[in-house]
Structure 1
Amino acid sequence: MSKKRHEPHEEHADESWLLPYSDLMTLLLALFIVLYAASSANTSKFEELSKAFKSALNSGIGILDAGGVTEDNQLKRRTDDTQDRLDNGRKSKTREALKQEEQQNLEKLKQDLDKYIQKNGLSTQLETQLNQSQLLITIRDNALFASGSATVKTESQKLAVAIGNMLQQYPDYEILVTGHTDNQPINTYEFPSNWELSSKRAINFMKILLQNEAFDPKRFSAIGYGEFRPLESNDTEAGRAVNRRVEVSILRNYVEPAEGGQELALNAIAGEGHAAN
């Protein structure tokens, strides 16, 4: 009886290596995610992923399990919001303090100017107005110029010097000098129109102010408006006399923006706002 021949059994391949391999792939995936996050400019996201990565390695929580991370984020956001409110509160207090200091400075300057006007009997030639955008000094043209001339009278130059001496105590303000005429036409070789006359008057008065070396010329500007910014009707001689003037505006640094833009600041530059005193 012949013996049956038994074929040798095929041995199954050992698959135990798959477990460490899959763990290795998981760790590599996590590493690439962290490296990708590190390459981003968003630091907060990198910190979140770093916490998630540590959590996965230490406690076995999945990388995409956002439970703990979300809680940390909420706490961080609450902390950041609180800090922002504190910072904004400090800035608001600082701004309010600066506005109050500016108000006190401009009120003191107005008092000094008014005392000078009263002492020298200039109440019919000068006046001051303090409003929400500026401290405005208005000087009638007959106090400074001869008719049809832009040259400051010799006896009136001391007025410009006196105003400059009072302004030098507050060097951090923008100063705008504007010239205005009535509607009577002028047509000379030097001044073809009221534009040139008003501009030259503003510039000449500004130059006398700038003789004071305490001033920074970058903070000064001069504009001529001709007859186009009247205060009174040009139909009477009295109205025309009021309209012929030079204005010196000390512009506030802290002006609350009006709806639709910097309306108050624009009003100051335009020489408007005469109603407030």
Structure 2
Amino acid sequence: MRKRGQEPEKENNERWLITYSDLITLLLIFFVVMYTLSKVDANKYHAIASSLAKTMGGSQSIMESGGPSMVPGASESKELDTAMEQIEQQKMEKIKKQIQEYVDKNGLSGKVTVAIEERGVVVSFQDVVLFPLGVADLVPHSQGIVDKVGAILSQTPNYIRVEGHTDNLPIQTNKFPSNWELSLARSASVVHRLINFSHIPPDRLSATGYGEYRPRRANDSDANRQQNRRVDIIVLRTKYQEVEPEAMQEINTLSPTSKKE
């Protein structure tokens, strides 16, 4: 008998489905990745970039100045930061204008100066405006001056730093062993006045004493030493608040010793 030849295999016309399914899977993965990137928190990315730049000692981050960002949302974040800085600059100028008007109206020009610097608005009082020589207690007329300025500063949520400065003439008393103690005591007196009478929250205030070591002018004449004896009130820009220490929240709750048995 004649053997039948083996029947040829049928051609598989469904092989294209395998390639098609692989393509669909790859497209799905691609779109998932793109969706994930679109959800990057631009503000956090910007903050991390700035922090890295400061840590590495760079004066300007490449990611801030290297052209359009490849990260979705980063360019928009930079534009938002610029807009916020412009708004804050307008607020700083408003504070400066209000204080300057008070200074001019009350004949304090030359003894109280107001300027906008990189760190914020700086209101500088010569010591004779607030304190007698070698004293850290505010006299009655100076209390009114601090209260008027404090009323203006209470309108802003920014941090406020009070800095005390002296000249290089040494002081040694039972109360103030050196210019360090005198400058710090003066700045603390102003801080207490701002808290108690201008009702500025204490967590927005800080007091610093620099003694004779941050002079404006050389301590080589009475006029220059007069310029160096001063108390500065600085309304800090928002970007400088990032380096300020934050208070621990609910410290009593978190402390093991505070729990009752």
Answer yes or no: same fold by TM over 0.5.
yes
- The alignment of Structure 1 onto Structure 2 pairs a total of residues equal to 197
Q: Is residue 2:89 matched to residue 1:133?
A: no
Please give the secondary structure, in 2, of the residue aligned with 1:229: coil
Q: Match for residue 171 of structure 2?
A: 186
* Structure 1 position 198, deviation (Å): 0.4
The C-alpha deviation readout for 1:138-177, integer Å capped at 9, x for no partner, is 100011111111111111110000000111111x110000
TM-score w.r.t. the length of structure 1 is 0.65
Choose from 107, 111, 114 the match for 1:121.
Answer: 107
Choose from 71, 81, 89 the match for 2:27.
Answer: 71
> 8 Å contact 1:132–1:255 — kept in the other structure?
no
Please give the secondary structure, in 2, of the residue aligned with 1:231: coil
Find the structure with the greater CA-based Rg. Answer: 1
Q: Which ranges in structure 2 are unaligned for 5 or more consecutive residues?
A: 1-16, 41-70, 245-261
* Structure 1 position 76, deviation (Å): 2.9
Alignment of 1:39-58 (within 5 A): none
Partners of 1:164 and 1:255 lie apart in 2 by 21
Q: Match for residue 95 of structure 1?
A: 81
> 8 Å contact 2:146–2:190 — kept in the other structure?
yes
Q: Match for residue 64 of structure 2?
A: none
Partners of 1:235 and 1:70 lie apart in 2 by 77
What amino acid is the match of 1:73?
A: I
Partners of 2:184 and 2:96 lie apart in 1 by 26
Q: Is residue 2:129 matched to residue 1:143?
A: yes
TM-score w.r.t. the length of structure 2 is 0.68
Partners of 1:175 and 1:124 lie apart in 2 by 23
Q: Match for residue 210 of structure 1?
A: 195
* Structure 1 position 66, deviation (Å): 5.8
Partners of 1:213 and 1:252 lie apart in 2 by 20
Partners of 2:101 and 2:193 lie apart in 1 by 21
Q: Match for residue 195 of structure 1?
A: 180
Q: CA RMSD in A?
A: 2.5
Q: Is residue 2:131 matched to residue 1:175?
A: no
> 8 Å contact 1:179–1:247 — kept in the other structure?
yes
Partners of 2:110 and 2:235 lie apart in 1 by 21
Q: Match for residue 221 of structure 1?
A: 206
Partners of 2:166 and 2:146 lie apart in 1 by 19
Q: Match for residue 149 of structure 2?
A: 163
* Structure 1 position 67, deviation (Å): 4.9
* Structure 1 position 230, deviation (Å): 0.6
* Structure 1 position 256, deviation (Å): 11
Partners of 1:67 and 1:256 lie apart in 2 by 51
Please give the secondary structure, in 1, of the residue aligned with 2:114: strand
What amino acid is the match of 1:211?
A: N
Choose from 220, 227, 247 the match for 1:242.
Answer: 227
What percent identity do the matched residue pairs reach? 32
* Structure 1 position 72, deviation (Å): 2.4
Distance 1:240 1:103, change over 3 A: same
Q: Which ranges in structure 1 are unaligned for 5 or more consecutive residues?
A: 1-58, 266-277
> 8 Å contact 2:154–2:198 — kept in the other structure?
no
Partners of 1:250 and 1:213 lie apart in 2 by 15
The C-alpha deviation readout for 1:55-88, integer Å capped at 9, x for no partner, is xxxx667xxx965433322233334445545544
